[in-house]
Amino acid sequence: MTALAKILVEPRSIVLPGDVLAEGDDVEPSSIYIERVGKKLIATITGIVVVEDLGDKKRVSIIPLEGAYIPRPGDIVIGLVKDIGITHWEVDIASPYKGVLTVQEVLDRPFNPATDSLKKYLDVGDYIVAKVVAFDRARDPLLTIKGEGLGRISEGAIVEIKPSRVPRVIGRKGSMVNMLMKETGCSILVGQNGRILVKCPNKDLEEVVILSIKKIEAEAHTSGLTERVRAFIREERSRRGV
């Protein structure tokens, strides 16, 4: 680091819009929630600061504490079918933007709306695991359910959290969600839009996982959370005898 680079906030601290996070050419922003003004990096949202040491420079990012889900191409989301058109479905993806799922992104054969109905494949009220194919804010995000692990959800429970808490539920390199699965034996799929699919061997374990996820959401800004959640899971499993 050169004398020009300076981190002005403590890592994992909470910052507000307008707070100066760092100053210097050797500090790079890694978040849409940080604006560079001259040599200063300034927060544009309330969130938790993350500082990464890259050797010859540092990278600063912010995990937002509030805010709606904004789609990005490649995101895996859990959507709820809200309406059916002639050749597409409208999907609620817990975003200001509604998802559009065309018949081409569902079927591998020609579709004739005069003789066939989309309702046979996906109906209003169905949950799906989908991938965001394209989104540019000029039009609603396009989705697909073609791909491994994508498609209609036929079992399990859906948990909803604030989209800003998703990184905390996943954890660094998947540490938190992997711990949840290891400690409970459940399958957990975290959508980037704040919806989480939980599949467990029984209802008791399902409830333990849901309570654990809600605990992570509520305490996302605190340190030592992984071990507290692990202890919580073990205590709940012992209490319930599962």
Topology agreement, domain 6-64 and domain 157-240: no
Q: Which of 21-25, 135-139, 144-148 has the lowest mean pLDDT?
A: 135-139
pLDDT in tens, 119-130: 999 999 999 999
What fold characterizes domain 76-152?
OB fold (Dihydrolipoamide Acetyltransferase, E2P) (2.40.50)
Contact 142, 102 (CB under 8 A): yes
pLDDT value of position 31: 64
Strand bridging mode 142-144 / 99-102:
parallel
Name the pTM for this structure.
0.74
Please give the structure tokens belonging to residue 26.
Answer: 């050797």
Q: How confident is the model at residue 137 (pLDDT cuts 50, 70, 90)?
A: low
Contact 58, 7 (CB under 8 A): yes
pLDDT in tens, 75-106: 999 999 999 999 999 999 998 889 999 999 99
Structural domain spans, the chain: 6-64, 76-152, 157-240
Which residues, at least 6 apart from 64, have a Cβ–Cβ distance to it below 8 Å?
33, 45, 46, 47, 164
Go through the chain and tell me how many residues it has: 242
pLDDT value of position 222: 85
Which class in CATH covers the domain with range 157-240? Answer: alpha beta
Which class in CATH covers the domain with range 6-64? Answer: mainly beta
- Count CA within 13 A, CB hemisphere, residue 229: 32
